A and B are shown apart, each in its own frame.
Chain A
């Protein structure tokens, strides 16, 4: 299957990519618009082939804590949900970050707040990159803009998570989750043996062997001096991630007078906006953050010296714009255009907003 081109929904691509990558366990609870992930896994029955565990948990809370239990054993463990379900998982996510456990989380965002709607949204940007749960922590956040990237970011997410012992999140949305595209799945690889996991993850709780001390996975430390040291160690790790792992895409930026900044499905819409704008004589480019944390601040700051104005396009009331403004640091005007509550911006309306808010102002 790996060499073949498949036609899949984004959600299905994540499921198949997880099996092929050699994931050890998926734990989830149904919620629209991402239930195809667990449905695809249950139909694929990977426990009969790779030995992957797939379990429908009693709640999102249980599912994230199952991920914690699996990750503590050094297993490739993952869960997926959508906005309201991700809110329920926040305590567990903070624990995972605090205990420095690598795992993969997927949020196929829907509109909020509250029960909101099942239609697509990008309103969980703040929740994902600014915290969400309690305490000072960060999630490595990958924002796919295609079904292909939904598949590719499963392996990338696990690789980054295990490289830094930190949870990674694929922050997708209902557009990418539900739309069908051509996709080439990663080549199947077998799951790691216990011996390989013990070597890769000497901290894993797989049973104490005589040559080492007990492994204890915890985020608890009551001595504030030691707890501050733990925090500083984790913060130093975050600075390393910020130095090494920033990823972004530049589209027609070389000659751009105006810059769009957008991620995920809105970045796809912005490709059309560029085309329409250039037909009208406006030199517009797109900077697409692929990692939302670490955020591509340096490159945006560089373009602030070149362009006359920046528009962020988001399916929210203006969230990523705060990070773009921090990156630009007042050098150039930064405006926002967004649709809310499950509405998706059209290229025409986005171009109109660019002209009105940035080009003509």
Chain B
């Protein structure tokens, strides 16, 4: 038996999703974005909906998401992705429309668009990356930054008395009647990655079934912004982020 006998389609147990192209990713090593991109690509592949999927990219680290997945994309202004997705889906109800947003985009500048799209029960999926920091602009405080967490705009740690509390936006969204799925997941272990993928697929299926708005929050690491190694960032996330943003379903109907 030689190498070519082993590397054959019937022995294939894993491959890069067809929809992921070979463009060099700009994400930092250890960042969760690459994994979540892969999961979205796999779900679209497996549902065979490439020709009817429209992605809405945010402003934030994922601003160039459109460079990595070979689907149609529109790039939104900061925070406005749910408004774009609303119109795209309303005018083409047979399309799969999803937004991919970070915590600054979804929970700060875009809070109004997020809440109202969810309240209307728009049949879209929202993939929400919560890493508690503004990664792209260099590590500033986000609405989701933890109490006492050091960022470049909270250099002595977030003082919740003057800087506000970590915003549990998913808890708010889960209260809205238009929301059918509000689940918080992570991608820091192989098991977590598999589970997160199941929820992304459920969010997409809900959208196509017209059940309302589905939000999958991925509690994520930003090891560059947190100034930690990828391994340390994973541990820190488990010890600190999960206490404030516990993994699990807030709503799943």
Contacts and interface: CB of A to CB of B under 8 A. Distances in A.
The judgment on whether A and B are partners is: yes
Interface of A: 24-25, 27, 53, 55, 57-59, 61-63, 65-70, 72-73, 75, 77, 91-92, 95, 99, 194, 205-210, 213-220
B113 A217 contact: no
A261 B118 CA distance: 49
Contacts of B57: 218
Nearest to B85: A69
Nearest to B78: A91
Nearest to A212: B72
A24 B74 contact: no
A191 to B, nearest CB: 10
B112 A207 contact: no
A50 B57 CA distance: 30
A285 B63 CA distance: 54
A70 B87 contact: yes
Interface string B30-56: 000000000000000000001111101
A214 B77 CA distance: 20
Contacts of B71: 207-208, 214
Given A68-B76, A72-B74, 6 more contacts: A27-B87, A69-B88, A206-B72, A215-B73, A217-B73, A218-B74
Contacts of A24: 91
Contact of B74 (A62, A68, A209, A213): A68
Interface of B: 50-54, 56-57, 63, 66, 69-77, 80, 83-88, 90-92, 95, 112-113, 116
A95 B7 CA distance: 48
B122 to A, nearest CB: 10
Contact of B83 (A66, A91, A214, A217): A66
Nearest to A72: B74
Contact of A62 (B54, B66, B83, B91): B83
A25 B51 CA distance: 22
Given A70-B88, A218-B74, A220-B75, A207 B113 contact: no
B84 A72 contact: yes
A214 B66 contact: yes
Given A62-B112, A205-B73, A92 B80 contact: yes
A53 B113 contact: no
A65 to B, nearest CB: 4
B87 A216 contact: no
A73 B88 contact: yes
15 contacts: A57-B83, A58-B113, A58-B116, A61-B113, A66-B84, A69-B56, A69-B84, A69-B87, A95-B77, A205-B73, A207-B95, A208-B50, A208-B72, A215-B73, A216-B75
Contact of A218 (B75, B85, B91): B75
Contacts of B77: 65, 68, 91-92, 95
Nearest to A191: B91
Contact of B112 (A59, A69, A209): A59
A207 B51 CA distance: 4
B83 A65 contact: yes
Contacts of A220: 63, 75
Contacts of B66: 214, 216, 218
A42 B119 CA distance: 20
Contacts of B70: 208, 213-214
Given A65-B84, A99-B75, A214-B72, A25 B90 contact: yes
Closest 4 CB pairs of A and B: A69-B84, A218-B75, A69-B87, A65-B83
A300 B76 CA distance: 41
Contact of A55 (B56, B88, B90): B90
A61 B80 contact: yes
Contacts of B63: 220
A217 B74 contact: yes
B112 A58 contact: yes
Contact of A66 (B69, B75, B87, B112): B87
Contacts of B74: 68-69, 72, 205, 216-218
B242 to A, nearest CB: 32
